[in-house]
Amino acid sequence: MSDSRGSSRGSSDRSSRSKKPTSGGARRAAGVRRAASGSSPSPAAPPAKGTSRTGRSSAATPAAASARSSAKPSAAQGGKGAGRTGAAATNFLNYPRAGAKNPWRWIPSLRMIAGAMALMVLAGLGFAVWLYNDTEVPEPSDFALAQTSRVYYADGETEMGQFSEINRTELPADEIPENIKTAVVASEDSSFYENRGISPRGIVRALVNNVQGGARQGGSTITQQYVERYHTGTVTSIPGKMREMVMALKADQELSKDEILSRYLNTIYFGRGAYGVQEAAQAYFGKDAVDLTDAEAALLVAVIPGPSVYDPANDPEKAAQLWDRVVSRQVNDGKMTAAEADALQFPETIAPRSENSLGGTKGYLLSQVRNELVAEGFTEDEINTGGFTITSTIEPMIQEHTVAAVDSLPEDRPENNRVGTVTIDPATGAIRAMYGGPDYVAQAQNDATQSRMQAGSIFKTFTLIAALEDGYPLDSRWDGNSPKTFRGGWTVNNFNDIDYGRVSLQKATTSSVNTAYAEANIEIGPQRTMDTAIALGLPEDTPGLGADASNVLGSASPTVTEMGEAYATIAGGGVHRDSYIVESVTRPDGSSRYAADPAETQAMAEEVAINATVALQGPPSEGSARSLRETMDGRPVAGKTGTSEKTRSAWFVGFTPQLVTAVGMFQPSADGSTEEPLTPFGGEDFITGSTFPTDIWGDIMSASLEGQEMLDFPEEVELDNETRERSTPSPQPAPEPEPTQEPEPEPTEEPSEEPTEEPSEEPSEEPTEEPSEQPAPEPTEEPAPEPEDTPGDRENIRPTEGAPAEEQGGGDNEEDAAAPSPSAVPGREDENSA
């Protein structure tokens, strides 16, 4: 072996480089060069050593084989074979692996992987033992420490109120009736008496859900639900869920099944502010838990998955469905016979008690806050006991002015007269004030967000915007004579059948000319008006919202908040923002649980919004709401009054550059099923949009904006798509030369408010572009009386859904849409004569 090695090292025959070696010699020489630095073996020399590479690559001679078998190279001797089989590890872990070729030297060996896994298992076991010993099973009394969530105004300091106090009465295990124990096991955890307290599948589902940011989920076993309630709203991390799992395991080890079940039934939330079966029995049936029938026990269990949502008072159909499910599961588990189940009847519940903390006008705000949080994924239980600090968007000063404005209405206001208002910041969508009613406890329906009223002429704004988008500028001309019959026989009248001649779109907006807007709606297409209303914020399923020609006159019935949000889109430069009332939610430890992030959509071009605002400045400055010029002390205002057919509702929706406020007034029947004509009060002969809705708006906005900068609206701009000429000729109306003399005497409610400039500046004949000083026979101080025996909106004589033939405009079919128009109806709402 030494001769071979010496020969390899000592060979200095330079001439061997010029000789052509055999292939086997070349491979051996290559192997030697890698083993010994700087030496070039002679082809004739014996192999340096018996490396495995050399042995595989050449036709080994018996001598070479003998040399390989006898050779025992050391690491110091070098060579490829020594590197692979004899290199010593340079560290304890042998990483990187000694002697291995890249990239294999960086791949851990199986021994290293196995060792690492063993260490992880040992560490995990140690952590589990520590966690088990460090975790305490909560006592039922510990749940009484759950914190009440508090709601604050936008300043973050003034408290608005707090959510329900914890009503809980703990019963000993032997006093909880067996029928509710049986029902809850059958419904919530049929393997309760066999499992060890946890459900691995439920745990994995909850962990994955929380990691993905989904709605909080609890465990599927009763034991898990019990311990999970201890951390309700405070634990969302994986370590926290692991502690809950250990807590469930420990509870199952330390407590009997009956004790776990009793604790669960003493702490679970049943809705109606009731925690535990005793309070639930009182809240739903007015009796003690021990007196519950089998049917009543099944109903209490049925509402557990969704307290309040599945309350029979809120959703009787769903409650009955879940009740039947609980009963059926008891039959399947053999706890009840089929005959016994068939004999059960769905139980009657008592009416829910309203919380005293929700009394007064603030109750509507707190209820709206709760509803919004639920829509954002919060649970009722979490809201009530999470100890959250909830900051709303409500400005206390604006809210105070809003309540004062409604409270200042005349004392002879009818008891069933209802008002809803909302004030929105158009730059953000934040609700700054809201009036939903006088007392939430006495009347839980929010008149700002839930009550619906026919829109009347405030709906013309959507036709205005659609026309601007379709290329018709503010000075485009439209036929404003009255009456006017359109194709299909649909006849439209202006107030007092005033003939305005051909009027601009801007003038038609200021005076709310029904015939001009009806013609515009037919030309652009009623579908465009409907689509525009939806784009600006009205829900697609708004009652009465359709694509019939009469939609321009306001047959749809939105809520006050929906209309306020739509007009806020105009005030916000064409950007639609969802309105919201919750700014942020903070956990007790100071971490953020929720922050508002409303969606924004460019509903129309900013230039269109600017020109629409220019047109909407007409009604508050020259038209039916011109009383605001004095109330607002000259501050620029844009908006529109509206009164539905037969004065079933009255509106004013308007805005300044800073705020948008919508006001709606209506009068429901005694049973609440229909809307009645508004009963006159406060010295008004008829209640229209230009009366108390405009007054309320002015009182809210003038006080709320006091001290703020008086900002101007942008001036009219020329749109790129404008076409100065109408694309089609206007149909020729049958003008009435003396429209103001036509009506039979019927007193109007606001002679002093009747504008002089409208009738006088628009002649009854077909005028020039803007006839200015030519008077019409229409009296300026005393508008002509109305022949119709039922008061209606001067600006808006239009159909309701399925309107009868004598009402103007149609309903959902062509025959109704072609129905003849009634005579105009008087009122201080003088948009057709202002």
Q: Given the residues 170, 188, 244, 296, select the one marked as catalytic.
A: 188
Sign of CA dihedral 142, 144, 145, 146: positive
Q: How far apart, in whole angstroms, are the C-alpha atoms of residue 231 and residue 581?
A: 27
Residue 441, burial from CB neighbour count under 10 angstroms (0-12, 13-18, 19+): middle
- The β-bridge partners of 612 are none
Q: How far apart (Å, rounded) are the C-alpha atoms in residues 242 and 223?
A: 14
Whole-angstrom distance, CA of residue 368 vs CA of residue 447 = 12
> Is residue 575 within a helix (H) or strand (E), and if so which, with residue range?
strand 575-577
Chain-centroid distance, C-alpha 123 = 45
54, 28 Cβ separation under 8 angstroms:
yes
**Collapsing DSSP states into helix, strand and coil, what is residue 327?**
helix
Taking Cα atoms as reference points, which of 627, 597, 36 lies closest to residue 372?
A: 597
The 8 Å CB, 24+ separation contacts for 76-83 are 77/5, 77/49, 78/35, 78/36, 78/37, 79/35, 79/36, 79/48, 79/49, 79/51, 80/31, 80/34, 80/35, 80/51, 80/52, 80/53, 80/54, 81/49, 81/50, 81/51, 81/52, 81/53, 82/35
For the four alpha carbons of 384, 386, 389 and 391, in that order, the dihedral sign comes to negative
Rounded alpha-carbon distances, angstroms, from residue 812 to 273, 368, 674: 44, 33, 19
Cα 216 to Cα 236: distance, rounded to the nearest angstrom: 7
User: Of the candidates 483, 464, 462, 486, which has an alpha carbon nearest to the alpha carbon of residue 473?
Assistant: 464
Catalytic position from the list 164, 262, 367, 457:
457
Q: How far apart are CA 809 and CA 656, in angstroms?
A: 33
Contact 202, 220 (CB under 8 A): yes
- Rounded to an integer, what distance in angstroms lies between the CA atom of residue 666 and that of residue 687? 10
Closest CA to 651 of 680, 618, 694, 699: 694
Judge whether 641 and 755 are in contact, CB under 8 Å. Answer: no
Question: What's the CA gap between 264 and 262, in Å, rounded?
Answer: 5
- 786 is a catalytic site residue: no
Concatenating the DSSP letter of every residue in 107-132 gives SPPHHHHHHHHHHHHHHHHHHHHHHH
Contact 307, 380 (CB under 8 A): yes
Q: Rounded to a whole number, what is the distance in angstroms from the first to the last CA of the chain?
A: 121
Region at 496 (left for phi over 0; alpha for psi -120 to 50; beta for the rest)? left
Cα(13)–Cα(507) distance, integer angstroms = 113
Number of Cβ within a 10 Å radius of residue 681: 16
DSSP summary character for residue 600 = E
| CA dist., res. 350 & res. 286, Å (int) | 7
Closest of 397, 370, 172, 209 to residue 290, by C-alpha: 172
Q: For the chain, how long is the longest CA-to-CA vector?
A: 139
Residue type, 540: E
Known catalytic residue at 704: no
Instruction: Provide the b/e sequence for 205-237 (b: ≥16 CB within 10 Å).
Output: ebbeebeeeeebbbbbbbbbbbbbbbbbbbbbe
* Residues tagged active-site: 188, 457
